[in-house]
Structure 1
Amino acid sequence: MSEARGDGTATDGGDDVLPEGFARLLGDYERHLVSERDLAPHTVRAYLGDIAGLLDHCVRLGVEEVGDLDLRTLRSWLARLQTTGRSRTTIARRATAARVFTAWLHRTGRVPTDPGAALGSPKKHKTLPPVLRADEAEALIRSAADLADDGTPVGLRDVAMLELLYATGIRVGELVGLDIDDVDDERRVVRVFGKGRKERSVPYGTPAGRALDRWVAHGRPSLRVDGSGPALFLGVRGRRIDQRAVRDLVHRRIADVPGAPDIGPHGLRHTAATHLLEGGADLRSVQELLGHASLATTQLYTHVTTDRLRRAYQQAHPRA
C-alpha cells in the first residue's frame, strides 16, 4: 500500500503522515477489504480514504491507540466534516465507512466493543436521477449504429456495449468485467458478477443479441491479440476495455441526441430501470435484475416514474 496520509484519497484535507501503528492498521484493513470482502478497487480506495481521514482526526485529538477510539471521537469527526461543508450524502457515506471499520476492529479483537454500532448518520436526500425517454434511448443507439455502418471493429463494439448497457441495466464495472463465456446467446442471458462478486443472470433482448453477435463474429477478432484473454469487450490495443473508455463513449454518443440529458453508463442503468417499471415490471424483479441488495434502493425508481406521471397529468388533464 502507498504511504498513508491523513487525507487518504483527498477526502479530508489532512497532509500529515499517519503514525506507524495507524498506517500498519490501515494496511491490514486494506488486505481485509481486498482479500476477504473482494471489493472493487474503487470501493477499496473510497473506504481507505475515509478511514485515513478518520485516523488523521484521531491523531489531531490525541487519540493514537485504536483501542481508545470511541463513539465521541466518531461523532466529532462527522461534526468536523459538516462544519467544512461536506454534503449530507458524503457524511452519510463516511458514517457507513466508519461503522464497517469499527465492526471489523471489534470482530478481529482490536477493540473490546464496537463504538460504531451506535453511530447515526444524516439521512441522504433522495434525488431523481436523470434518465432518457424511450425515443432518446433509441436515438442514442441509432447514432452509434450510424457510425458503425462501415463495419469497423470499434464501431461494432460500441453499438454492442450501448445495446447491452441499456438492455440489461448492468453497471459499467460489470460490463467491462464480462468474458465471452458469460454470454449465453441461446437463452439470451448474460452472467454478471456484481458487488461482492455476487453472481446473477440478466436477460437481454433481440437487438442487443444481434449487436453482440456482430461484434463477436466480425469485430472482436480484428482487435484480439495474444494477451486479450477471454474478455468480451476489447480496447483498441486488444486488452480488456476499461471503464473510462466506456464512459467517454456514452457521453460522446449522448451529445448526438438533441435535448437529452448528459448521462454516463450509470444514467443508462437508471434509464433501463425506469423503462422496465414504466412498462409494467414488478419492483422485486427489477431489484433482482439490477443486483440491488435492498429493495429500498430499487424503490428510488418508482419516484422517477411517479414524477413523470405527475408531469404528464399536469400537462394533459383539464383540471390538473
Structure 2
Amino acid sequence: MDDLLDDFRVYGLAAGHSQRTITAREQTIGRLARDLDLTTATQNQLTSWLAALVAADGRPLARSSRATYRAHLAAFYGWMQDTEHRTDNPAMKLPKPRVPRAVPHPVTPDEVTRILAACSDPRARMTRAYVLLAAYEGLRVHEVAKVRGEDIAHGEIRIHGKGGTDSTVPLHPSVELLASRMPARGWWFPTTAERAGHVSRVSVSQAIKRAMVRAGVNGTPHSLRHHFGTQVLRATGGDLRTTQRALRHASPATTAIYTQVADDRLRSAVNGIPM
C-alpha cells in the first residue's frame, strides 16, 4: 500500500497538484486502506464506506465534506485504472452528494476597521498585514502565507492562487503603504521554524480569527475575502465580469452568488414598492 500511495503522490506532483490537495488525497486513501483492500474494493463497498463516514465529533458528515471524500476516491481510482493497477474503476458511479451553493458572509467595512484596530499592538503587526491582504486584495489564507516582496510591482500584487495559477490584482492604497514597509525580496511572512519557507495557512487563519474575536466580529477569515468581493461588486455597479476578475474565479457562476448579498439595486427596487 505504501508503494501505491508513493506512486500516487508522484503522479500528483507531476500533474502540478498543490501540496494541500496531494496531502488531503493521501489522508483519505490512507483512511480507506485501513478498512478496505484498495486493489479489490467494489463500488458497493466504497458506497458503504462513504455512507458510514462521520465527523470527528461523531455527528453526520457535512455534504460538502462527503463530496470531497468522493472526489478523492474518484481521483485515486481513476489513476489506478489509467495506470493499469486495476482494470475497472469502482469509484466511477459513486453517489454524488448534492452540495448546496454557499452564500458569502462578508464582514462590513466597519467590522474590518474594528479588526484592524484589534491589531494595533506592535506584536500583532503581521496579523494586521494578513487582514489587509485578505480584506483589500481578496487573498485566501494560503495565498496570504505565500506573499513575497517580488510579488509587488507596477502597482499590482501577483497572487499565487489555487491550482498553481498566478494572477494580478491592483494594489489597494492601504496595501501599497504596507508594501513600502515590508521586505522588497523574499517571504513577507517567513516561518520561525527550523525549515526555511513561509508561515502556514493554518497560522494565518488562526491569527486572523483571534483578531476577529478580540474585535467582537463574527465570521471566519474567509469573510474578509467576501468583504473584498462584495465591495468590488458594489463599486462597479454590479459588474460581474470585473468582480470575477478581481476574485480570480474560474467560473462566473461562482461570482454570481455575490449578487445575493450585494444587489443594492434589487433592494432599492423592493423597498420602493408603494405600500
TM-score, normalised with respect to structure 2 = 0.81
Given that 1:170 and 1:269 are in contact with CA atoms closer than 8 Å, whether structure 2 keeps it comes out as: yes
1:125-164 alignment runs, 5 A limit: 125-144=100-119, 146-147=120-121, 152=122, 156-164=125-133
Q: 1:132 to 1:58 in 2, by over 3 A?
A: same
1:73 equivalent in structure 2 = 45
Given that 1:102 and 1:116 are in contact with CA atoms closer than 8 Å, whether structure 2 keeps it comes out as: yes
SS in 2 for 1:166: helix
Given that 2:127 and 2:208 are in contact with CA atoms closer than 8 Å, whether structure 1 keeps it comes out as: no
1:183-262 alignment runs, 5 A limit: 183-184=152-153, 187-216=154-183, 230-234=186-190, 240-258=198-216, 260-262=217-219
Given that 1:160 and 1:212 are in contact with CA atoms closer than 8 Å, whether structure 2 keeps it comes out as: no
Unaligned runs of 5+ in 1: 1-21, 218-228
Given that 1:182 and 1:190 are in contact with CA atoms closer than 8 Å, whether structure 2 keeps it comes out as: yes
In 2: Cα distance, 1:29 partner to 1:309 partner: 50
In 2: Cα distance, 1:102 partner to 1:295 partner: 30
Deviation at 1:79, TM superposition (A): 2.6
Note the alpha carbon deviations across 1:284-314, whole angstroms, 9 max, x for none: 33333333333333333333335x8888888
Deviation at 1:318, TM superposition (A): 7.9
Q: 1:158 to 1:75 in 2, by over 3 A?
A: closer
Unaligned runs of 5+ in 2: none
In 1: Cα distance, 2:220 partner to 2:110 partner: 15
Q: 1:85 to 1:109 in 2, by over 3 A?
A: same
1:24 equivalent in structure 2 = 3
In 2: Cα distance, 1:52 partner to 1:242 partner: 23
In 1: Cα distance, 2:92 partner to 2:33 partner: 18
Note the alpha carbon deviations across 1:240-277, whole angstroms, 9 max, x for none: 3333432233123223434x21422x221122112222
SS in 2 for 1:192: strand
2:143 equivalent in structure 1 = 174
Given that 1:156 and 1:214 are in contact with CA atoms closer than 8 Å, whether structure 2 keeps it comes out as: no
Given that 1:168 and 1:202 are in contact with CA atoms closer than 8 Å, whether structure 2 keeps it comes out as: yes
Deviation at 1:119, TM superposition (A): 2.7
SS in 1 for 2:167: strand
2:247 is aligned with 1:268: no
Query: May I ask how many residue pairs the two structures share in their alignment?
Result: 269
Over the aligned positions, Cα root-mean-square deviation in angstroms equals 3.2
Given that 1:231 and 1:240 are in contact with CA atoms closer than 8 Å, whether structure 2 keeps it comes out as: yes
2:246 is aligned with 1:289: yes
Higher relative contact order by CA 8 Å / sep ≥ 6: 1 or 2? 2
Please tell me the residue identity of whatever aligns with 2:19: P
In 2: Cα distance, 1:23 partner to 1:239 partner: 28
- Which 10-residue stretch deviates more, 295-304 or 88-97? 295-304
Please tell me the residue identity of whatever aligns with 1:166: A
2:21 is aligned with 1:43: yes
1:279 equivalent in structure 2 = 235
1:89 equivalent in structure 2 = 64
SS in 2 for 1:190: strand
Please tell me the residue identity of whatever aligns with 2:32: L
Residue identity over aligned pairs, in percent, reads 23
SS in 2 for 1:297: helix
- Which 10-residue stretch deviates more, 205-214 or 296-305? 296-305
SS in 1 for 2:168: strand
Note the alpha carbon deviations across 1:116-145, whole angstroms, 9 max, x for none: 33333111123434321122123323443x
1:7-22 alignment runs, 5 A limit: 22=1
TM-score, normalised with respect to structure 1 = 0.71
2:256 is aligned with 1:299: yes
SS in 1 for 2:253: helix
Deviation at 1:169, TM superposition (A): 0.8
Q: 1:125 to 1:309 in 2, by over 3 A?
A: farther
- Which 10-residue stretch deviates more, 297-306 or 165-174? 297-306
In 2: Cα distance, 1:319 partner to 1:27 partner: 67
In 2: Cα distance, 1:134 partner to 1:84 partner: 35
